[in-house]
Structure 1
Amino acid sequence: MTSREPALAAPAEPIGRRIERHFDALLEARGYRADTAQRTAIVQLGQWLESFLGGKSGWLRRLPAGIYLWGGVGRGKSFVMDAFFAAAPVAAKRRVHFHAFLQELQERMREFAGQPDPLALAAKALAGEARLLCFDEFHVHDIGDAVLLGRLLKVLVEEGVGLVCTSNYDPDGLCPNPLYRERFKPAIALIEKRFLVLQLDAGEDYRLRRGDQETWGRYCWPQSGFAEGWIEARLGLGAAAERDAVVSVNHHPLRLLAMGGESAWLDFDELCRRPHSSADFLWLCRRFRQLAISNVPCLGEEAIDVQQRMVNLIDIAYDAGTELLLASQASLDDLCRGKPHMDFSRTRSRLQQLRPVRPGEPTDC
């Protein structure tokens, strides 16, 4: 009788190789080729995660708490991070967007109201749920965000959460407003000291490559050239739709020109010239799959608070996959001229992914 040796289990695929393989598969499926900066970033992400999960530190320095990936708009930061996130062999992982995450953090803080340091308690609760947190479009433009994000990062790093952040800004450029930059300096120092900072910038906005664009809505101009009722027809709002409706959003009123099913039509003045917050825009994009916004002006001529609301709205709708219809008297080029908000390069890139429609053209508008 002959004995047989037990079969040896195949060695586990290294984490870095697994992440690169998934990245390559996504590129092939889309017909893309990675540039040198993108390839370097995905390799670094895989190597960092393998060391992070294995608890490996070097002789001369601590293991980085995370990776901070920054560069201009359309350079593939979110694509690289999403490929990494999907392949990362971590059960307790989350990919979150800036606006939605801040709202969640504030809601969690309310759960700890009346206790010492609700922010630290909320951050520790988050740390108990996620071993890996991927944070998309990290940016800071008001004092509230600066205070929350600065302290949040410190607690998450101390609690051992692995962090991957993407941003349009290098760490030192995260909080340019001198009124509260001093409050955010410790957070900038933390990123520069504890994170591996990678610049992803090949000098090209890949979203604007002809043939590569994925439209997520329509940009219709000039608005006055379209027939009466065309917005409602495009949204499928028939006789049963509510018109001139007022809904309560986060305990204050929001006026809609029309709404029905998963579609709503609003005026720019209502959304961006009134003091609506990102939480209101999040509510809209969760409640409605399609949004039409009419009478959009040339944004570079607007006050900075109006521009900021439009920037936030576009960010939230884009991330949520909301189908957007913008109607304006101005062309998209004119819409973006003037002295726009510092984040408007990202907004412009996303607006240019809307399909342009003019009166009389064959369209489903």
Structure 2
Amino acid sequence: MVDEALVTRELAARGIVPDASQRAAIAALVGLAGVGGAGGKSGESGESGESGKHARPGTALAPQGVYCHGLPGRGKSLVVDTVFELAQCRKRRLHFHEFLREMNRRLVSEPRGDDRLGSVARQWLDGIDLLCFDEFHVHDIADAFLMGRFLDTAISLGTRIVLTSNDAPDGLLPDPEFHERFLPAIEQIKRFFTVIHFDGERDYRFGGEQAHAPRFFAPLDPSNSDALRQIFVRHEGSDTLQPVTLSAAGRPLAARAAGAALLWADFESLCVASRSHLDYLDLAERWHGLILDNLRTDWLAQSHTLQRLVWLVDIFYDRKRALFIASDAPIEAALSGLEGAHDLSRTLSRLAEMKSRAYRSTLSGVGKDVDAIPAHRPDET
């Protein structure tokens, strides 16, 4: 049985003493996780905490959800994941990009009908009592249309849902040309979900102890090129240290080298070239780590290039993959103050954690642990 004391102890073991908003989220999430199967009674709803008794024809009281939003690094995912891991039910947690890929794949093969989206949503939700979307966002009208119908279907089925987001519900799909069309979905969230604002001042990802061996390298000089080569060889040996053309989401990708656990590719091939989050999902599923080499920071002024880097970092962070970046200038300094991409503040927060000792990627233990081996320490932010 999940209770608040157990969750608090789990967080304490990670050095976290919950603040007021985190405690409110723990209470709401524990209440949600403790609800019975689909169609069970709902508890509280909305920011006001008023009782949410919204009946639907032929069902019991409508299910409840929890929507956690706030600035990056305020502990949203940490609190949600802690409760999610303890919950004893049929459950699934995934990144929003992964969900969109799965839904679109199913839609391609779904027979034409009056409600293809609803039909695919019901199939996708079959067997899930508790669903968690990390980094929920809606930036374009196609995703908005899909997500609106999906949420309506999930609520009608009694699926319990947890969403984490940088955006408050009213901030979803901010484009004024389309925002009004997503208002019904926003009202669904505000009506059926406990909405909690993580408003703590501290970003938990900053200020951590640096990893023993560096993960971000600047400038692009022979010394740092050799450091990248050492990282690759330590994990893969020298046999695969040669250029190769492979496939990412069905399209060719030229790489400097590719081993069983670690991929080494240039930034130009991965983020300047026309690619999508589907490419990065594919790579993160096949490799435990990526060496992202030869990043010229002036390329980041292009909004499409910057957005691709944001997607890549999001996906590799969510999968706890290792990321090594070599750039002509310190990457975090180059990103600070830039505009042109959604959720850039989250990228900076995640990069801060990814270079720290606290970040343990799935690459650790594959071959030799890079953090255990001293290496040349470059200039960093």
- Shorter-chain-normalised TM-score: which range? 0.7 to 0.9
Aligned to 1:109: 107
**Separation in 2 of the partners of 1:20 and 1:176?**
35
Task: Provide closer, same or farther for how the CA distance between residues 342 and 283 of structure 1 changes in structure 2, counting only shifts above 3 A.
Answer: closer
Residues 302-331 of structure 1, C-alpha deviations (whole Å, 9 max, x = no match) = 222111111110000001111110001112
Q: Mapping of 1:120-135 within 5 angstroms? A: 120-135=118-133
Match of 1:152 among 150, 153, 160: 150
Instruction: Tell me, yes or no, if the aligned pair for 1:245 and 1:255 is still in contact at 8 Å.
Output: yes
Aligned to 2:312: 313
Aligned to 2:375: 363
Q: Mapping of 1:181-260 within 5 angstroms? A: 181-211=179-209, 218-224=215-221, 226=223, 228-236=225-233, 237-241=236-240, 243-260=242-259
Q: Which runs of 4+ in 1 moved over 4 A?
A: 51-54, 56-60, 213-217
Give the structure-1-normalised TM-score: 0.85
C-alpha displacement of 1:184: 2.1
C-alpha displacement of 1:174: 1.4
Question: Residue type matched to 1:221 in 2?
Answer: A
Q: Work out the number of aligned pairs and report it.
A: 343
Match of 2:23 among 11, 17, 39: 39
274-283 or 30-39, larger mean C-alpha shift: 30-39
Task: Provide closer, same or farther for how the CA distance between residues 215 and 174 of structure 1 changes in structure 2, counting only shifts above 3 A.
Answer: farther
Task: Provide closer, same or farther for how the CA distance between residues 222 and 57 of structure 1 changes in structure 2, counting only shifts above 3 A.
Answer: closer
Instruction: Tell me, yes or no, if the aligned pair for 1:235 and 1:290 is still in contact at 8 Å.
Output: no
**Separation in 1 of the partners of 2:154 and 2:8?**
31
Are residues 1:25 and 2:47 paired?
no
Instruction: Tell me, yes or no, if the aligned pair for 1:263 and 1:290 is still in contact at 8 Å.
Output: yes
Task: Provide closer, same or farther for how the CA distance between residues 299 and 118 of structure 1 changes in structure 2, counting only shifts above 3 A.
Answer: farther
279-288 or 136-145, larger mean C-alpha shift: 136-145
Identity percentage over the alignment? 36
Question: Residue type matched to 1:19 in 2?
Answer: D
Aligned to 1:55: 41
Instruction: Tell me, yes or no, if the aligned pair for 1:300 and 1:335 is still in contact at 8 Å.
Output: no
Instruction: Tell me, yes or no, if the aligned pair for 2:7 and 2:82 is still in contact at 8 Å.
Output: yes
User: Which structure has the bigger radius of gyration?
Assistant: 1
2:23 is paired with a residue of what secondary structure?
Answer: helix
Residues 167-194 of structure 1, C-alpha deviations (whole Å, 9 max, x = no match) = 0110111111234323322211211222
C-alpha displacement of 1:103: 1.0
**What's the RMSD between the two structures over aligned residues?**
2.6
Structure 1 regions of 5+ residues with no counterpart? Answer: 1-14
Task: Provide closer, same or farther for how the CA distance between residues 301 and 112 of structure 1 changes in structure 2, counting only shifts above 3 A.
Answer: closer
Instruction: Tell me, yes or no, if the aligned pair for 1:216 and 1:354 is still in contact at 8 Å.
Output: no
Give the structure-2-normalised TM-score: 0.82
Residues 105-163 of structure 1, C-alpha deviations (whole Å, 9 max, x = no match) = 11222332445433211110122220110111101122332222122111111111111
Task: Provide closer, same or farther for how the CA distance between residues 70 and 39 of structure 1 changes in structure 2, counting only shifts above 3 A.
Answer: same
Task: Provide closer, same or farther for how the CA distance between residues 86 and 214 of structure 1 changes in structure 2, counting only shifts above 3 A.
Answer: farther
**Separation in 1 of the partners of 2:284 and 2:252?**
16
C-alpha displacement of 1:200: 1.2
Question: Residue type matched to 1:256 in 2?
Answer: A
Structure 2 regions of 5+ residues with no counterpart? Answer: 45-50, 55-61, 357-372
Instruction: Tell me, yes or no, if the aligned pair for 1:19 and 1:88 is still in contact at 8 Å.
Output: no
**Separation in 1 of the partners of 2:215 and 2:43?**
50
Task: Provide closer, same or farther for how the CA distance between residues 153 and 285 of structure 1 changes in structure 2, counting only shifts above 3 A.
Answer: same
Instruction: Tell me, yes or no, if the aligned pair for 1:216 and 1:353 is still in contact at 8 Å.
Output: no
2:221 is paired with a residue of what secondary structure?
Answer: helix
Question: Residue type matched to 1:125 in 2?
Answer: Q
Aligned to 2:174: 176
Residues 272-295 of structure 1, C-alpha deviations (whole Å, 9 max, x = no match) = 111211111011111111210112
**Separation in 2 of the partners of 1:253 and 1:65?**
44
C-alpha displacement of 1:97: 1.0
Task: Provide closer, same or farther for how the CA distance between residues 123 and 364 of structure 1 changes in structure 2, counting only shifts above 3 A.
Answer: farther
Task: Provide closer, same or farther for how the CA distance between residues 215 and 118 of structure 1 changes in structure 2, counting only shifts above 3 A.
Answer: farther
**Separation in 1 of the partners of 2:325 and 2:170?**
34
C-alpha displacement of 1:243: 2.8
**Separation in 1 of the partners of 2:8 and 2:43?**
28
Aligned to 1:4: none
134-143 or 58-67, larger mean C-alpha shift: 58-67
Aligned to 2:362: none
50-59 or 94-103, larger mean C-alpha shift: 50-59
